[in-house]
Structure 1
């Protein structure tokens, strides 16, 4: 406590002990008693006017008195009191206004609050009050304003609220309330504002009695569990201006009776399951300003009557199934500022009347079936800042008139059939930050005017028919981060001036006709992550100075005419994950420094060059590498150094001069002969010391004898196993009675030193470490003291025929998977009925146990390492396996954690293997586990890679918050995705409060990273599968977050003061496919209300 506060406290004690020396009345003493409970260091300054020598508190700050000298108003806002509820004030029977808002008061609201019978206004908003709303609140018959929003209140809305007959404003949003909206709410005939959103535990339908609240102006029930249909009686609320029930579970049609709400200005029903047509009756609602119906199941056409709503400022019908053309009647919407129709099936031409929308700021028509040309009148839109029309069927040229839109910040016309040249004038738009014209049929040259557009951050012109040289003026774009000109017909040299774009993160010129040398100026692009110059005609050497690019992740120079040596300086690019310099004319030996690139995990491709010498011994350090191609060179020596690369999944060393024997590992044994072809001195199958036929015949005889011996021995072993199984105790008999008399087939996928008998004899109940829908898991210690995990899949139903061949084929696929973040499958056993899978045993157990059983605290470094490892494992399944493997059941329980917090993805691919097991809850295609299942499974029953992405996003939220997907700390019945979405959307407190508070306490300096990962998680749990990133993108984002903490930013064209659409703007156009989550929470969400 500060010295000022201490002085006041001592003075208060003196007054209490010797009241005769003070004339301060009882109300003043009560206020001082409350003041003594403040725990804030600045309270003495804020309350310095509270002088105990006064007779009354009427001249004190924050206090107002009546003519009789009694306290009538207490108004304290935005002062950190750190105190409990002011029970000391409950005797102030003349108090009409009690406002203690955003003051950090805690505790419960006492039932005695009902004694404040004169109260007109009670505002306790933006605190941390807990407990329930007391029934006694109904005693406050004079109450007009009750503001309890943004606390931690629980329980239901008391039915006694109906007794507060004069109530005008009721704000209960952003708490943890549950239950249904009481019908007694209909008794509040004077009610003007009802806001109860952000309480996910509130459920049930909108009560019919709400229609009795004839004075209602704002009804906010957003981000709740409200379900059912919108009652037709809503039309009786003729004074209603805002109906806000978004991110809920509304179904059915939008009732046509809504048109009777003649005063309605804001209709926010987005993110529900509404179906049917947009009612034509909306056309009679002349007061409408904003209609947000995105992310529903609306069908049909856009109603012509909407053109009568001439006050409309925002229309957002995105993410529905609307069809047809834009009606001509919309031409009268001259006040329109945002017109958003993304992701529908709207067809026809972009109407020319759009040019009359002089106030239009955002136009999003992407992902539809628009055809025809871009109308020239677009140039009349002087206020336009964003124009998205990508993924349509537009043709013709880009109108030069578009450059008249002087405020344009982002243009994306990608994936159309546009022709002609890029207008020079576009590059004179001073505010343009994003220009994306990917995958069209544009031709001509890149104009030198490009140098005038110094605000550009992203320029993507790939997959067109552009010709000519890259203009040197491009070096004037100092803000440029992403430059992609790939898949064109550009020629000439790469301009030296490109080195002036010192903020570049991606430079992609692949598949052109570029010539000349790689400019040494690239060394100045120190933030560069991706450099792709492949499939050109570049000559000269790889500059030594590329070693300065220490942020480089991917270097791709393949398919050129590069000569000289591989520069040793590349060893300084420690973050390299992919190095491809194949198909060139590079000579000399492979520098040993390449072997120190321990981050190299995607690909090392040096093929089709003229390299000589041995494979460097340092290559044994490339433990993360999954793909290596050294083929078509003149390399010599042995392959022994590669034997320790356990993570390799593909290797090609064909057409070199290697010699000696292959490494004796399972990986090399399984490689096809084509991987070693063209190495005459390399012993692939067998090595001979002489070529005599007699020696060959002798060897053949020995092989025959060995083969016969193996068969005989195997027979005895099999017989022994069967006998052993038959003599097991009751437990083993119970485990293996299905098919126990059938022969065991044992297929190892790794080098092992135990037998099937060593395994089956240990499968007793005492060794069970887990059970799931796929089977039982045992911890088994082999005779050599190796500990493995054995999963016994649930038995096949007796009526089903054995499918050993199918099982073996599927397991063979799983056994071929090799990745550092996927638990290793050692082998499988099958006797026709019982199926066993043998895995490495991971000592730290599951991520779920570590997070929720609190056996070990995971700091942020450990959690980040785990989530990145899991992402890399899923990325491998999705992008590097042919065909791709969908995991189907990603959850915290299926993520195992090693001794150094390495993550291992388990149970991948088992969904197919157990699909016939009959396990409760398992469908024909296992959909996953409760809480992690992607929402689209509920209506499509389809599982795709994007379903895995959603489940992974849930795991990210679980790691960040420390909560389970359906945690009992979240409002009743709510899911973690819904809860976090509401926290962000409503801004009821700082985002940091979403995170695991123990994590914040111990790792607070890493909070920016955590919030960035939160942004990635929100992208992954997008309700639309098409909007979710790929796992390759997710992995790239997570790695980028670790490298540089300021990568996640709001795009320049989405400022809070211009966005009126209260949705989290996570754009997924081709503009945002560069893996940056763009999360923008508009400020208008609080004013508009739930």
Structure 2
């Protein structure tokens, strides 16, 4: 069936159709409000006005429809509250209100709808308040979806009374407290989506009673304690994602009994102990991710029995020993990341028999030996990172045949020429000793000369009688050079940098300025020449005259300069959060600028990140539409990187492009990290941006910056004819406020991370 785009409002004379049983106008671009007269069609059993552009509130007169079984109003622009009067529709089985703009709270009276089977009200950003205990009285409920809303408070224990519940989808909300053990009584539960909340406490062992549970998604909460062994009793489990919590303990050996398990993800926790070898009994495993934990011991050779494994992430743990050669038997393996461990031995040649392998990352281990020539067999290899190991020898010629390779990191690779190395060791040691001795002697002489020059320069700075000061103002000033000189004391120093020292100067008239005392000119100090011979002052004078002629609202105002034989002073307006080290626009300047004058290449990375945020959000760095005048980067973080931060004009783009924009947003947030050390280099940024498109095209299911595509059965309709929804993860791990690890910020995107995706029901 082809949808008809009517672009018309619903007619108000619906009362003429008193005996109408079904009203289905879905996806027709209907506009306007739902007429109250719809309540006069007393025989109506089904109302489906979903996926239109309807506005206004839900008419309370719908409560007159005593025979109504299905009210489907999702994916519109409806506002107002959920009408309490709906509780009068006692025959109601399906109530679908998700993806609107409804507000208020969930009426407790809905608990009176004993026939209700499906309640989906997620995707309403203003829907708030607690989840009513009365929902536990809807004994026929099979689907409860309140995701992506502002519902808060604890999960009601009364949910445990829903014996027919199949899907509980309350993710990306403000729900807190512990997971009620009573949920273990929902014996028909298949899907449990509670991720991206503020849940705390431990995972109830009672969940182990859920024999039909297939999806256990609890990532991005504040859960503590151990992973219950009882989870191994959930024999139908297909996906477990407990990433981004604070779980401890060990990986339960009972997981080996889950024959249906396809994905096991516990990234970014505090899990310790070893990897149980019997996990290889879960022969359907396709994703195994336990990166960023404290797991130690050996990698079990038995993992080679997992023939369906596509992703194996174990980076940033404490793994030891060699890489098992048996991993070469994982014929479907696409991404292998064992970086930042203590692995030894050589790279097994068997790994390069994996025709589907696209990523091999073994960064920062203690791996030795050479790169096997078999690497040329990995025709699908896109990224190869072996840096910071003890790998020696040359680069195999077969690497040249890897046409898909776009990222090669062999940092630290050395030539393995033992004889030459031995013969050169004594000579090298002698040469280094002589070089160091001479260098120390020269540095000592230079230090003595420089100290004497500095003393003389300081004297020159203060003795205006011997070396008179020249003063060039560029604004109308009401203070003298003498007042400025009196403030050049250590107590007033507010920053030091490569170019000079910055002082805070209080003038007699109450004016506060910033004075930058430049270090003496290198040419003058080296040659000992005066100003006329060297031309230092002439050049300086020309530069400051140019600077003084610039007038712009985004440039720090230059007041003037003064100098004598060896000292040069620049005077600026004092700006508590400004910069004397660079002239730049507000909002684009990295926080380490200011008066500390710490300018590095990472400062440019910050500015680049701001520009990317500006392009994607459509907002200036300091935008009048952002409340409280906060920076656009802080605003995006407050929004947790949700899709609503994008420029509204971009939201009509195809889903694949939207996801790429969200991934670029995550990279931008790495760039604007307040700590320069935790920002990626521009080389890394370029690699991440280049990879976004490549990831989507080559393997859209398996790596860090990918769209998390749900399994096929999530694309089918559920038992109620309502298709399950999925979308990209709203906040990449760069938005995780619980992690301040520098290796996380850059490497979690550049290396790999959990590929959890937003899947579930709203």
TM-score by length of 1: 0.51
| Shift in Å, 1:382 | 1.2
Structure 1: distance between partners of 2:414 and 2:605: 44
**Residue 211 to residue 205, structure 1, CA distance change in 2 (3 Å):** same
Q: Write the deviation string for residues 300-345 of structure 1: whole angstroms up to 9, x where unpaired.
A: 1111221211111111111111111122333322221110010111
Retained in 2: the 8 A contact 1:229–1:252?
yes
**Residue 846 to residue 472, structure 1, CA distance change in 2 (3 Å):** closer
Q: 1:770-849 alignment to 2 at 5 Å?
A: 786=551, 827-828=572-573
Q: 1:581-660 alignment to 2 at 5 Å?
A: none
- Bigger mean CA offset, 441-450 vs 702-711: 702-711
Q: Which has the higher contact order (CA 8 A, sep 6+)?
A: 2
Q: Secondary structure at the match of 2:617?
A: helix
| Shift in Å, 1:981 | 6.0
Match of 1:148 in 2: 73
**Residue 410 to residue 114, structure 1, CA distance change in 2 (3 Å):** same
| Shift in Å, 1:82 | 2.6
Match of 1:717 in 2: 480
Q: 1:26-65 alignment to 2 at 5 Å?
A: none
Structure 1: distance between partners of 2:265 and 2:348: 26
Match of 2:143 in 1: 218
Q: Write the deviation string for residues 144-167 of structure 1: whole angstroms up to 9, x where unpaired.
A: 111111111111111111111111
Match of 1:796 in 2: none
Match of 2:490 in 1: none
> 1:705 pairs with 453, 456, 465, which one?
465
> 1:874 pairs with 568, 590, 594, which one?
590
Does residue 205 (structure 1) correspond to residue 130 (structure 2)? The answer is yes
Does residue 195 (structure 1) correspond to residue 120 (structure 2)? The answer is yes
Match of 2:47 in 1: 122
Structure 2: distance between partners of 1:317 and 1:228: 21
Match of 1:1052 in 2: 699
Match of 1:959 in 2: 618
Retained in 1: the 8 A contact 2:243–2:754?
no
Q: Secondary structure at the match of 1:427?
A: helix
Match of 1:366 in 2: 291
Match of 2:356 in 1: 431
| Shift in Å, 1:717 | 3.4
Q: Write the deviation string for residues 603-627 of structure 1: whole angstroms up to 9, x where unpaired.
A: xxxxx9xxxxxxxxxxxxxxxxxxx
Match of 1:386 in 2: 311
Match of 1:736 in 2: none
Structure 1: distance between partners of 2:668 and 2:414: 36
| Shift in Å, 1:708 | 6.8
Q: Secondary structure at the match of 1:483?
A: strand
**Residue 455 to residue 789, structure 1, CA distance change in 2 (3 Å):** closer
Structure 2: distance between partners of 1:1077 and 1:903: 21
Does residue 101 (structure 1) correspond to residue 26 (structure 2)? The answer is yes
Structure 2: distance between partners of 1:143 and 1:1029: 61
Structure 2: distance between partners of 1:300 and 1:1025: 31
Q: Secondary structure at the match of 2:42?
A: coil
Retained in 2: the 8 A contact 1:342–1:367?
yes
Does residue 410 (structure 1) correspond to residue 177 (structure 2)? The answer is no
Q: Write the deviation string for residues 6-54 of structure 1: whole angstroms up to 9, x where unpaired.
A: xxxxxxxxxxxxxxxxxxxxxxxxxxxxxxxxxxxxxxxxxxxxxxxxx
Give the total of aligned pairs: 642
Retained in 1: the 8 A contact 2:57–2:78?
yes
Match of 1:1015 in 2: 663
| Shift in Å, 1:1015 | 2.5
Q: Write the deviation string for residues 871-921 of structure 1: whole angstroms up to 9, x where unpaired.
A: xx439859x97599999xxxxxxxxxxxxxx9998xxxxxxxxxxxxxxxx
Match of 2:277 in 1: 352
| Shift in Å, 1:134 | 1.4
Structure 2: distance between partners of 1:789 and 1:78: 52
Q: Secondary structure at the match of 2:104?
A: strand
Q: Secondary structure at the match of 1:307?
A: helix
Match of 1:161 in 2: 86
| Shift in Å, 1:290 | 1.1
Structure 2: distance between partners of 1:351 and 1:155: 53
Q: 1:300-339 alignment to 2 at 5 Å?
A: 300-339=225-264
Retained in 1: the 8 A contact 2:407–2:687?
no
Q: Secondary structure at the match of 1:401?
A: helix
| Shift in Å, 1:143 | 1.1
Q: Write the deviation string for residues 539-595 of structure 1: whole angstroms up to 9, x where unpaired.
A: xxxxxxxxxxxxxxxxxxxxxxxxxxxxxxxxxxxxxxxxxxxxxxxxxxxxxxxxx
Structure 2: distance between partners of 1:469 and 1:394: 27
Retained in 2: the 8 A contact 1:291–1:316?
yes
Unpaired segments of 5 or more residues in structure 1?
1-75, 493-511, 516-607, 609-631, 633-653, 656-672, 679-683, 686-695, 722-738, 752-781, 793-814, 817-824, 848-869, 888-901, 906-947, 969-974, 985-992
**Residue 1078 to residue 98, structure 1, CA distance change in 2 (3 Å):** farther
Retained in 1: the 8 A contact 2:479–2:509?
no
Q: Write the deviation string for residues 630-666 of structure 1: whole angstroms up to 9, x where unpaired.
A: xx9xxxxxxxxxxxxxxxxxxxxx99xxxxxxxxxxx
Match of 1:468 in 2: 393
Match of 2:199 in 1: 274
**Residue 241 to residue 836, structure 1, CA distance change in 2 (3 Å):** closer
Structure 2: distance between partners of 1:904 and 1:227: 35
Retained in 1: the 8 A contact 2:605–2:681?
no
**Residue 443 to residue 1034, structure 1, CA distance change in 2 (3 Å):** closer
Retained in 1: the 8 A contact 2:75–2:99?
yes
Q: 1:974-1013 alignment to 2 at 5 Å?
A: 995-997=647-649, 1012-1013=660-661
Match of 1:442 in 2: 367
**Residue 384 to residue 468, structure 1, CA distance change in 2 (3 Å):** same
Q: Write the deviation string for residues 993-1046 of structure 1: whole angstroms up to 9, x where unpaired.
A: 95333x899xx9x99988744432145569x999999544579647986x9994
- Bigger mean CA offset, 261-270 vs 783-792: 783-792
Structure 2: distance between partners of 1:403 and 1:1044: 25
Structure 1: distance between partners of 2:580 and 2:676: 32
| Shift in Å, 1:490 | 3.8
Structure 1: distance between partners of 2:67 and 2:91: 6
Structure 2: distance between partners of 1:748 and 1:449: 63
- Bigger mean CA offset, 958-967 vs 1010-1019: 958-967
**Residue 169 to residue 348, structure 1, CA distance change in 2 (3 Å):** same
Q: 1:481-520 alignment to 2 at 5 Å?
A: 481-490=406-415
Q: Write the deviation string for residues 926-950 of structure 1: whole angstroms up to 9, x where unpaired.
A: xxxxxxxxxxxxxxxxxxxxxx98x
Q: Write the deviation string for residues 487-540 of structure 1: whole angstroms up to 9, x where unpaired.
A: 132458xxxxxxxxxxxxxxxxxxx9999xxxxxxxxxxxxxxxxxxxxxxxxx
Point out the structure with max Rg over C-alpha. Answer: 1
Q: Secondary structure at the match of 1:1054?
A: coil
Q: 1:686-765 alignment to 2 at 5 Å?
A: 705-707=465-467, 717=480, 746-749=513-516
Does residue 238 (structure 1) correspond to residue 5 (structure 2)? The answer is no
Unpaired segments of 5 or more residues in structure 2?
422-434, 485-505, 519-546, 558-567, 629-634, 703-708, 715-725, 735-742
**Residue 421 to residue 1067, structure 1, CA distance change in 2 (3 Å):** farther
Retained in 2: the 8 A contact 1:101–1:126?
yes
Structure 1: distance between partners of 2:463 and 2:93: 95
Retained in 2: the 8 A contact 1:459–1:484?
yes
Retained in 2: the 8 A contact 1:718–1:744?
no
Retained in 2: the 8 A contact 1:961–1:996?
no
Structure 2: distance between partners of 1:454 and 1:514: 35
Q: Secondary structure at the match of 2:223?
A: strand
Retained in 2: the 8 A contact 1:965–1:976?
no
**Residue 170 to residue 748, structure 1, CA distance change in 2 (3 Å):** same
**Residue 231 to residue 433, structure 1, CA distance change in 2 (3 Å):** same
TM-score by length of 2: 0.71
Retained in 1: the 8 A contact 2:203–2:225?
yes
